[in-house]
Amino acid sequence: MNSFKSFWLAALLLVSAQFTFAQTAPTAKPSAKGATEQFQIKTSAVCDMCKARLEKAMAYEKGVQEAHLDVPSQVLTVSYRPDKTTPATLRTAVQRTGYDADDQTAEARAYERLPDCCKKTNKVHSDTGHK
């Protein structure tokens, strides 16, 4: 009885192992390989520190190929793989970094961690030499 049971257990394990392998293998090469799309997010970034922080955060996001923030216009341009991520996911990533993304406000905790000069309430540096 015991050996009968373990036989079925082994058979089950083998089948499920092959099943998960079969599931992961074909997705490695999607048909729309290399397709890149671009979109823009209006952020609350104010300086070059914000720029570096946001571009770095985007670089760590899955599916992002390139991110560029234009400080004067506060617009973040992201090149991404539509088969790997979505604009909504990337907007959330911006919020998690502490910045507003379009009409969605920054995540409060991430925003609190920003240096004072990078907070959107700090208007002082926008017309001074802070870069």
Does residue 110 interact with Cu ion by CB under 5 A?
Answer: no
Rule CB under 5 A: choose which of 50, 54, 57, 94 binds Cu ion.
50
Does residue 49 interact with Cu ion by CB under 5 A?
Answer: yes
The contacts of residue 108 (CB under 8 Å, 6+ apart) are none
As given in the structure block, the two tokens for residue 122 are 């700090």
Amino acid 14 reads L
Does residue 101 interact with Cu ion by CB under 5 A?
Answer: no
Nearer to Cu ion, 48 or 102 (CB): 48
Q: Give the C-alpha separation, 58 to 108, whole Å.
A: 19
Does residue 58 interact with Cu ion by CB under 5 A?
Answer: no
Query: How many binding residues for Cu ion (CB under 5 A)?
Result: 5
Nearer to Cu ion, 78 or 118 (CB): 118
Does residue 76 interact with Cu ion by CB under 5 A?
Answer: no
Q: Give the C-alpha separation, 26 to 4, whole Å.
A: 34
Does residue 106 interact with Cu ion by CB under 5 A?
Answer: no
Residues 37, 79 contacting (CB under 8 angstroms): yes
Does residue 71 interact with Cu ion by CB under 5 A?
Answer: no
**Cβ-count burial 119-130 (b if 16+ within 10 Å, e if not):** bbeeeeeeeeee
Residues 17-46 vs Cu ion: string with x where CB under 5 A? -----------------------------x
* Residue appearing with tokens 């799309």: 37
* Contact set with Cu ion (CB under 5 A): 46-47, 49-50, 118
